[in-house]
Structure 1
Amino acid sequence: MRKSLAVLGATLLAAVASVVVAVPSTSAAPSATGLHISGRDIVEANGQKFIMRGISHEHVWFPSQTSSFANIKAQGANTVRVVLGSGKRWGPSNDVANVVAQCKRNRLICVLEVHDTTGYGQDGAAATLDQAVSYWIGQKNNLVGQENYVVINIGNEPIGNNNPGQWTTATANAVRRMRANGFQHLLMVDAPNWGQDQDHVMRDTAQTVWNADSQHNTVFSVHMYAVYNTAASITSYFDAFKNKGLPLVVGEFGWHFAASEVDDQTLMAQAVARGIGYLGWSWAGNNDARLDMTNNFNPNQLTTWGKRIINGPNGIKATGKEATIYSHR
């Protein structure tokens, strides 16, 4: 299923304590090309800061819904996060070239992710990050040369709640293997604990993964659901990455409508104030109003969640700015 609310509901609620650590600058390596990290920011090849304001699209389960790219763009998004399958559990998605073309046609930055890794170690059907890297290697011909337009999100929520500590080595090895195979793209790595990092493994060991990237061109992605149901839990997590000097985005989040769900209003306000990108889950396909932004992919039927993230304070229409690469083509 697309997104397991049962897993999200089972996640322990915990405020995330900030960690103040002095670390070296995270300026981009000279070899970085296209979208890359400068300091804590994502920047384009021309040095212009790019702040993701985007929406996830469940492409692997709804491959015929290609109109979603244009519809997502029409909401003011500058980024679409596209769900792909490696073939281990879903897919394989062999239409990557067409997906990238759809993103470019609609002037969107394309975050491509392998969803099969979701909850590895807890979900027996999940793929490893190493298997996800093998998928990317198989798609290399469709991705090389697209560094201005494509971010590779190596694997969605790659570790569950069982032994989340394995995330550090697995993620560092995945990043090294991507670079060894010639990928120069901006890489995105999701946190363990189904993306929520409640045990703070990513927060506390992100520097190890950063150091594993020979290009220093990796952005860390936290998914904010039930663990982040207070303002303090959100701000302390953001503060931790600020104090570490490492780049962060909110790669997924949903709608707060009950005390046990994410405080989306604080999340968006803080992201805007701090220049942090966010990608909402998702355009459609969950059959749950907390997660679907539209009814049955219809852009004229926004749900309450869709109205909040798209038209609300600090939402996508108010804060999204198109990537400058599309102004110079």
Structure 2
Amino acid sequence: MRPRTVPLLTAGLLALAGTLMALPSASAATTGCRVAYRVTNQWTGGFQADVTVTNLGDPLSGWSLGFDFPDAAQHVTQGWNATWSQSGAHITATNADWNGVLATGSSTPLGFLGARADANPDPTGFTLNGVACTGATSTPPPTGAAPALKVSGNELVTSAGTPVILHGVNRSGGEFACIQGNGIWDGPMDQASVTAMRSWNVRAVRVPLNEECWLGTASVPAQYGGAAYQNEVRAYVKLLISNGVTPIVEMHWNHGQYTGPSAGCSDVRATCQKPMPDAQYAPAFWTGVASAFKGNDAVVLDLFNEPYPERATGDATAGWKCWRDGGTCPGIGYPVAGFQSLVDTVRATGATNVILLGGLAYANDLSQWLTYRPSDPTGNLAAFAHVYNFNACATTACWTSQYGPVAARVPLTLSEIGENDCAHGFVDGLMDWADARGVGYLGWTWNTWNCATGPALISDYTGTPTAFGQGLKDRLARVPS
């Protein structure tokens, strides 16, 4: 992401058995729930609905019911037996003081008065404490440390050969706060924040970094660069791994002046997205990062955020050649580190970690990825793409024709997905496509920003989802771990 007809009385059982991965423990909670929703009366402009929530899992000492209204005109105006709130289309009902305890198999009745337009469709996608339902139960195994990964055909696998698909979120901050003189991170990077991520069943977190901050150049306040920055990155990576989360360490912003087409800034410093990595600092950055994490193949290395050399060269073929080979690229005023040289840089340290590479057009174009992909002596090279509703490749037809052949040959992760409308209809369709093909995805971003100005998943660091984030949270609760 660049920074920045009326139905009659109805009754339905909408259920959800989700899988909330627990933190390491002797036993993991059994989860599951069932929701019955029924419109008991309706009139012009309004209606009344009864909701019955049944807990099928382990006893609960507190609960929160969530669902989305399908029609924009539907609103809760008054509710009972819970505290009701609404944000956009998303409804939350939290237990009252007297009905917070739900034993296994027990139910509690709720209800509300609502407003509507002509249509009054039943909501779907009910969740209870973030677990979305089918009326079944699930007991996830205890979670240990994140496993070492390697490439096997078109899959990421553990040392035992178990396939792993990367599902999770981005955690923005390390790419910009330091160079702006505001700190090292944006918001908390502690155990509580990771526990909140795990409550969403997040299994991978992408951590964007700034090359000048890692290297401690003169552009960065001393307290936020060099060893101080590196130590913070190492500590966060270690924390993620210990919680069973795969860290993806990524170079986001880099040094080098670029003022051509689609330039994000005219600053030579690493303060915006440049079209390609620079040959001045990028090799040193990747020598340092690869050296820091070599021998720990639980860490995945993402060489560069969103290449767009074709905007500078004016030609896709020249763009792909610049992407792979670097050097003097037309339209780019600084020497470029091509991805073959950066793969070589990482491998020269002895690091065998999986490496991720995105394509052109801000990592949205993978049309020639297989043709131009660098050679890797370890065979641990995988692909990524970034997909938003405003990208060129934003349709099922494009994903199938362009991403499908890549996913058939190498592991593919959609390492940034999102939409700029505070909704999740677009990413729902994208995740459907990905799930059918064993392709991973990570939402942008686990930051408390305004989702009206960019795809922010949460409204607070305890993990309260935005309307956009609710779509990813519901999906992560039910995709296989």
Same fold by TM (over 0.5)?
Answer: yes
CA distance in 2, matches of 1:239, 1:192: 16
Q: Which runs of 5+ in 1 are unaligned?
A: 6-32, 322-329
Partner of 1:249: 413
1:72 correspondence with 2:207: no
Correspondence list, 1:195-234, <5 A: 195-197=363-365, 202-210=366-374, 212-225=375-388, 226=390, 227-234=392-399
Once the two structures are superposed, residues 282-310 of structure 1 have per-residue CA deviations (whole angstroms, 9 ceiling, x without a partner) of 111543345101114341x3101110111
CA distance in 2, matches of 1:135, 1:269: 36
Which moved further from structure 2: 120-129 or 280-289?
A: 120-129
Correspondence list, 1:1-329, <5 A: 3-4=2-3, 34-60=148-174, 61=177, 62=185, 64-67=187-190, 68-87=193-212, 92=225, 93-94=229-230, 95-117=232-254, 122-123=263-264, 124=266, 125=268, 126=274, 128=277, 130=279, 131-147=281-297, 149-159=298-308, 161-163=311-313, 164-165=319-320, 166-169=322-325, 170-197=338-365, 202-210=366-374, 212-225=375-388, 226=390, 227-242=392-407, 245-255=409-419, 257=421, 263-289=426-452, 290-299=454-463, 301-311=464-474, 315-321=475-481
Higher relative contact order (CA 8 A, sep 6+): 1
1:80–1:320 distance in 2 versus 1, CA, 3 Å? farther
CA distance in 2, matches of 1:241, 1:184: 22
The answer to which structure has the higher helix fraction is 1
Partner of 1:14: none
Shift, 1:44, TM fit: 1.2
Whether the 8 Å contact between 1:129 and 1:174 is mirrored in structure 2 is: no
Whether the 8 Å contact between 1:80 and 1:110 is mirrored in structure 2 is: yes
CA distance in 2, matches of 1:185, 1:240: 24
Shift, 1:3, TM fit: 2.9
Which moved further from structure 2: 231-240 or 52-61?
A: 231-240
| Secondary structure, counterpart of 1:274 in structure 2 | coil
| Secondary structure, counterpart of 1:177 in structure 2 | helix
CA distance in 1, matches of 2:399, 2:425: 9
Which moved further from structure 2: 60-69 or 105-114?
A: 60-69
CA distance in 2, matches of 1:236, 1:77: 29
Once the two structures are superposed, residues 78-113 of structure 1 have per-residue CA deviations (whole angstroms, 9 ceiling, x without a partner) of 111112221167764312220121112321011111
Q: Percent identity?
A: 22
Partner of 1:22: none
Q: Which amino acid aligns with 2:405?
A: A
The answer to which structure has the higher strand fraction is 2
Q: Structure 1 length as normaliser, TM-score?
A: 0.76
Q: Structure 2 length as normaliser, TM-score?
A: 0.53
Shift, 1:224, TM fit: 0.6
Once the two structures are superposed, residues 160-179 of structure 1 have per-residue CA deviations (whole angstroms, 9 ceiling, x without a partner) of 53233321221122112211
Whether the 8 Å contact between 1:129 and 1:155 is mirrored in structure 2 is: no
Whether the 8 Å contact between 2:295 and 2:352 is mirrored in structure 1 is: no
Whether the 8 Å contact between 2:451 and 2:466 is mirrored in structure 1 is: no
Q: Which runs of 5+ in 2 are unaligned?
A: 5-146, 178-184, 214-218, 269-273, 314-318, 326-337
1:167–1:114 distance in 2 versus 1, CA, 3 Å? same
Partner of 1:29: none
1:146–1:268 distance in 2 versus 1, CA, 3 Å? same
